[in-house]
């Protein structure tokens, strides 16, 4: 069992965000194609300027956090006419840029810590620097790498699934020691060697925010000990009626495991929001996305993911992956607000939202759905 991390103080940026009954996050489209493998017309863009504007838009609406995924893909990405996700920004560099143009919103960077491999001394220094640049708003989404092709890109053999999480625990232990110790630190293991290692400045509130996404037993053991926010996924697919039946058990499993070691963690889930004035309009958008699918991109995506060992997303069908999101909320603002209320009742502490056409749909969410969440007591 990895060493449980201490809680961040209530006056920290995360502590303030956790006062919200329901956390709101935005999944930034820092790669081309966003979450939708379709030529459906939209202005969603991977560029820093577009994502910077989105982050400022989300902050103005009161959102609590933003971050994007990390991808390592060969030329052509997942394939298709759109070269799906071939172009992607680095998340650490993106967070550094966003720190300068935001004031309140949490900024999370996704890092594959075993590729290269990243030495924990590097990441401890970079992370502490980003934490100061953002005033204590930076966080690390630590991922271990489930796709064999990504490991091969770095000339490495993939580490076995459960062993990766054992090493992730050791990695976070090292980070925390470097962030907290006022003395030099020696560490000698099969994976990492540190001699008289020292990091300064120390993070603003003792350590940065730690995020994890997992579904496996080994992943949950690591996450509940060493993460503040944990992404859970619906094993029953993206359809709301199926997902809402499966999520209570997952949330309960995570929170009971955390409570057993004296920790309090919050779970997040990733919905794709398609909201329109009428239910018929919303479902027409859904169908239009499917009608304009990039079949080759979908084939490449499924083929590549089939070579990995992730335990998440396995119940998602082809159409659900084309549109995107771990679950899909489709309908009028009132219908979507009602579904969000059900997600909260199912034990989800927060949402990390994605959209098809980000800027106008985020604005629509802010104007038509967010007030309903305030009325329901889910946002303060």
Lowest mean pLDDT among 115-119, 186-190, 310-314, 326-330: 310-314
Whole-number pLDDT of residue 60? 98
- How would residue 67 be classed by pLDDT, with cut points 50, 70 and 90? very high
**CA atoms 45, 27, 68, 112: torsion sign:** negative
What per-residue confidence (pLDDT) applies to 315? 66
The Cα 138–Cα 370 span in angstroms is 25
- pLDDT at 279 exceeding the cut of 70: yes
Is the per-residue pLDDT at 312 higher than 60? Answer: no
Nearest to 263 by CA among 273, 254, 274: 254
Q: Which pLDDT band, with edges at 50, 70 and 90, does 304 fall under?
A: confident
pLDDT of 309? 64
Question: Looking at per-residue confidence, does 50 or 3 come out higher?
Answer: 50
The confidence score (pLDDT) of residue 308 equals 67
Residue 204's alpha-carbon distances to 13, 22, 112, 132, in angstroms, are 10, 25, 24, 6
Mean pLDDT for all residues in the chain: 95
Q: What is the mean predicted confidence (pLDDT) over 231-240?
A: 93
> Do the Cβ atoms of 102 and 52 come closer than 8 Å?
no
Beta strand pairing call for 23-27 and 350-353: parallel
**Type and span of the H or E element at 372:** helix 370-375
Q: Which residues contact residue 49 at a Cβ distance below 8 angstroms, ignoring those fewer than 6 apart?
A: none
Per DSSP, 29 falls in state -
What is the average per-residue pLDDT within 350-360? Answer: 98
Is a pLDDT exceeding 60 seen at residue 320?
Answer: yes
Binned at pLDDT 50, 70 and 90, residue 82 comes out as very high
pLDDT at site 155: 95
pLDDT in tens, 169-187: 999 999 999 999 999 999 9
Q: Give the model's pLDDT for residue 217.
A: 87
CATH code, 13-375: 3.20.20.30
- Residues 128-168: pLDDT tens digits? 999 999 999 999 999 999 899 999 999 999 999 999 999 99
What is the arithmetic mean of pLDDT over 264-289?
98
The reported pTM is 0.96
Average pLDDT, integer, range 337-350: 98
**Residues of the chain above pLDDT 90, percent:** 92
Rounded mean pLDDT, 247-256 = 96
């Amino acid at each position: 069992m990895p060493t449980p991390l201490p809680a961040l103080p209530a006056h920290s940026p995360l502590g303030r965000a956790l006062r919200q009954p329901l956390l709101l996050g935005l999944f930034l489209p820092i790669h081309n194609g966003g979450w939708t493998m379709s030529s459906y017309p939209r202005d969603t863009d991977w560029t820093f300027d577009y994502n910077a504007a989105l982050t400022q838009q989300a902050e103005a609406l009161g959102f609590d956090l933003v971050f994007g995924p990390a991808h390592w893909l060969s030329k052509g990405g997942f394939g298709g006419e759109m070269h799906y996700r071939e172009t992607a920004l680095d998340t650490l560099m993106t967070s550094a840029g966003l720190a300068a143009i935001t004031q309140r919103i949490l900024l999370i960077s996704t890092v594959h810590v075993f590729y290269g491999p990243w030495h924990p001394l590097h990441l401890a220094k970079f992370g502490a620097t980003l934490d100061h640049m953002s005033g204590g708003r930076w966080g690390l989404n630590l991922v271990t790498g489930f796709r064999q092709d990504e490991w091969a890109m770095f000339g490495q053999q993939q580490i076995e699934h459960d062993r990766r999480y054992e090493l992730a625990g050791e990695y976070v232990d090292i980070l925390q020691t470097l962030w907290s110790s006022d003395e030099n630190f020696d560490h000698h293991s099969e994976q990492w060697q540190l001699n008289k290692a020292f990091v300064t400045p120390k993070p603003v509130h003792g350590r940065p925010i730690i995020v994890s996404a997992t579904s496996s037993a080994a992943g949950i053991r690591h996450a509940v000990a060493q993460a503040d926010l944990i992404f859970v996924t619906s094993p029953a697919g993206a359809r709301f009626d199926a997902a809402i039946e499966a999520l209570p058990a997952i949330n309960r499993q995570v929170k009971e495991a955390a409570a057993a070691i004296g920790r309090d963690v919050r779970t997040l889930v990733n919905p794709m929001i398609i909201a329109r004035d009428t239910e018929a309009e919303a479902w027409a958008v859904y169908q239009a996305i499917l009608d304009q699918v990039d079949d080759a991109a979908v084939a490449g995506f499924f083929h590549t993911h089939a070579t990995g060992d992730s335990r998440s997303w396995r119940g998602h069908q082809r159409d659900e992956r084309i549109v995107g999101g771990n679950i899909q909320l489709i309908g009028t603002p009132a219908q979507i607000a009602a579904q969000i209320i059900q997600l909260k009742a199912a034990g989800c502490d927060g949402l990390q939202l994605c959209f098809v056409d980000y800027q106008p749909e985020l604005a629509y969410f802010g104007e038509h759905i967010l007030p309903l969440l305030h009325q329901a007591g889910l946002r303060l």
